[in-house]
Amino acid sequence: MLKTETPSTAHPDLDLYELPQLISAFVEDQLQAVAAVRAAGPQLAQAVAAALPRIQAGGRLIYAGAGTSGRLCVLDSVELYPTFSWPRERALALIAGGQEAMFVAVEGAEDDQAQGARDVQGVNIGPHDVLLALAASGGTPYVLGALEAARGAGALTIAFANNEGAPVTAAAEIGITLDTGPEVISGSTRLKAGSAQKMALNTFSSSLMVRLGKVYGNLMVDLKASNAKLLRRAVALTMRATGADEAQARAVLERCDFQVKVAVVALRRQVSVEAARQLLDQAQGRVRQALDAG
């Protein structure tokens, strides 16, 4: 039996627990998700290093999964735009059962290996693209079909599974095992297996964006200020990075469509917004290099 399906020996009487003990059992078990992602650190670093040149060459991040794993794929892909201004068309999520499966379980969709291949082929995957394949069990047919099609098209394939020796990690160029073990509720991989997948995807995509110059220091200077909260955040980040007061920061941001990178360079270099954009273009969008340019 797969580890993720094996009943937990730690909590055989879960249904008898008093509420504080029940809450504690769920919370404490999540620590194994952190440990699993930490153990996979070398493989995650390998994955980022392999993906970087393909993405720099214009490739896309394409995610594939089913059920909870598929929904986590969608979540990671969607959040890259507001956080890093990553183009939506360069972060695509494929979920077994289609968009409907985000909200309603589409029974049997994960068992259709041919559909996984068709979905990947349908987005015209190519050699510059990176497929991120997720399957808690590690044997989801839909995900295996997606991997097969992606490898056939020359894309980089990276697979995440929560069981050792999983078919999906064996089928990918880079396999990442998140060994979270049995769940508190037997087989419910929406628990710590899902938490580990979320952390691993966050780590991978955030590290990739840092390497692409989307971060200055530890500040998210390439966010898309698309709502009131993010507009306030853009002002705060600009103030933090430059030492400018709120009025100065807001004035420059208003002249550059609230692009924090541009405002930071303009204020720190004491140049116009247009000159700041040119410096960033010459530095391939990297704030630190634009500030240090002669």
Q: What pLDDT sits at residue 5?
A: 93
149 CB contacts (<8 Å, ≥6 apart)? 116, 117, 118, 120, 121, 125
The superfamily (CATH) of domain 3-211 is Glucose-6-phosphate isomerase like protein; domain 1 (3.40.50.10490)
Q: b/e for 75-109, b at 16 or more Cβ within 10 A?
A: ebbebbbbbbbbeeebbbbbbbbeeebeeeebeeb
User: Which pLDDT tens digit goes with each residue over 5-53?
Assistant: 999 999 999 999 999 999 999 999 999 999 999 999 999 999 999 999 9
For residues 172 and 164, what is the distance between their CA atoms, to the nearest angstrom? 14
Return the CATH architecture of domain 228-292: Orthogonal Bundle (1.10)
User: Which pLDDT tens digit goes with each residue over 203-234?
Assistant: 999 999 999 999 999 999 999 999 999 999 99
- The answer to whether residue 18 is catalytic is no
**What is the pLDDT confidence band of residue 168, given thresholds at 50, 70 and 90?**
very high
Taking a C-beta distance cutoff of 8 angstroms, is the pair 205, 74 a contact? no
Taking a C-beta distance cutoff of 8 angstroms, is the pair 91, 77 a contact? yes
Of 89, 92, 87, the closest CA to residue 120 belongs to 92
- The answer to whether residue 110 is catalytic is yes
User: Taking 90 as the threshold, does the pLDDT of residue 293 lie above it?
Assistant: no
Residue identified by tokens 């699993």 is: 36
Q: pTM here?
A: 0.94
User: Taking 90 as the threshold, does the pLDDT of residue 123 lie above it?
Assistant: yes
Bridge-based pairing state of the strands 61-65 and 130-135 = parallel
Helix (H, G, I), strand (E, B) or coil at 133: strand
Q: Widest CA span of the chain, in angstroms? A: 69
One of 110, 148, 173, 183 is an active-site residue; which one? 110
Residue 245, token pair as written in the block? 């007061």
Taking a C-beta distance cutoff of 8 angstroms, is the pair 128, 54 a contact? yes
One of 5, 79, 148, 173 is an active-site residue; which one? 79
For residues 131 and 156, what is the distance between their CA atoms, to the nearest angstrom? 6
198 CB contacts (<8 Å, ≥6 apart)? 72, 75, 76
More confident residue, 107 or 226: 226
User: Which pLDDT tens digit goes with each residue over 46-101?
Assistant: 999 999 999 999 999 999 999 999 999 999 999 999 999 999 999 999 999 999 99
User: Which pLDDT tens digit goes with each residue over 245-291?
Assistant: 999 999 999 999 999 999 999 999 999 999 999 999 999 999 999 99
Which amino acid, residue 191? L
Name the residue ranges covered by the structural domains of the chain. Answer: 3-211, 228-292
